[in-house]
Amino acid sequence: MAGYTLSALESDIRSYTEVGSGVLTGAILSRFIENAEYRVMRDVPIDADRKQQSGSLVSGQQTINCPAGCLFTRGIQVYSSTSVITGTNVWLIKRDQTFLNEYVAANTDTGSPKYYAQFGGATGTTDTTSGRYMIAPVPDAAYMFQVHFNAMPTTLATDTSGTWLSLNFPNGLLYACLVEAFSYLKGPMDMLTLYENRYKQEVEKFAAEQIGRRRRDDYTDGTIRIPIESPPQ
């Protein structure tokens, strides 16, 4: 199956459901597609959504902003340098905000950071104070840092010519959209069940690729060997 553009996916949804644009308008289909995209995003952490952002800590300041659109944080590195991302570095240990509040009472404990806690949630396309990281100990210098995170993916509504998901997982996206469509149309339960099962089958394979095969290599992990049962001697 070739990858999808927005118009091609809308056309296929109408063809599979045999319902025209008078009922399944562009606005309604946009909602179906967005719901399907978010479903896949939350079912499988996709490598294409992995991002990095660098910056400088502020001496004496306990918090920094989360990157825009940050879904979840994979880790934070803090470097010994205060000018460029280089030199020795340490991965901060994630703890709950309450742990850090006790650890750095009254922000009197300063030094090279060791822990971080996340609170709030980043939204939009720019970094905001609605999502923040608390750092402990409070930085005693403007150390460079790098945040590794998964970001909100681009949707077909924004990139109508095709997104990473629509071009690389088109069948799963289509089945997820058809589940939305048949639910909306109150269509036959057997068709709803059919596409729900097809989606689950495809997303299982997709997950095996994203969090299985893409997390290993033959040199480091060796070739996967499938045991074959032999008849008893």
Here the tokens at position 176 are 């997820």
Given a contact cutoff of 8 angstroms between Cβ atoms, the answer to whether 78 and 58 are in contact is no
Q: Per residue in 51-97, pLDDT tens? A: 999 999 999 999 999 898 888 899 999 999 888 888 899 999 999 98
Q: Which pLDDT score, from 0 to 100, does residue 233 have?
A: 63
Percent of the chain with pLDDT over 70: 91
For residue 30, the surrounding DSSP H or E stretch is helix 26-43
HEC assignment per residue over 61-103: CCEEECCCCEEEEEEEEEECCCCCCCCCEEECEECCHHHHHHH
Residue 9 has pLDDT above 60, yes or no: yes
What is the total residue count of the chain? Answer: 233
Q: Per residue in 14-63, pLDDT tens? A: 999 999 999 999 999 999 999 999 999 999 999 999 999 999 999 999 99
Q: How far is CA 53 from the centre of its chain?
A: 15
Residue ranges per domain, the chain? 6-46+154-214, 49-151
Q: Per residue in 210-224, pLDDT tens? A: 988 888 888 777 766
Q: Per residue in 172-182, pLDDT tens? A: 999 999 999 99
Bridge partners (DSSP) of residue 54 are 146
Distance CA 143, CA 57 (A): 5
Residue 121 has pLDDT above 70, yes or no: no
Query: 107: phi > 0 → left, psi -120 to 50 → alpha, else beta; which?
Result: left
pTM over 0.75: yes
Which residues have a Cβ under 8 Å from the Cβ of 131 and sit 6 or more positions away?
65, 66, 70, 118, 119, 120, 121, 122, 123
For residue 182, the surrounding DSSP H or E stretch is helix 170-185
Distance CA 175, CA 217 (A): 30
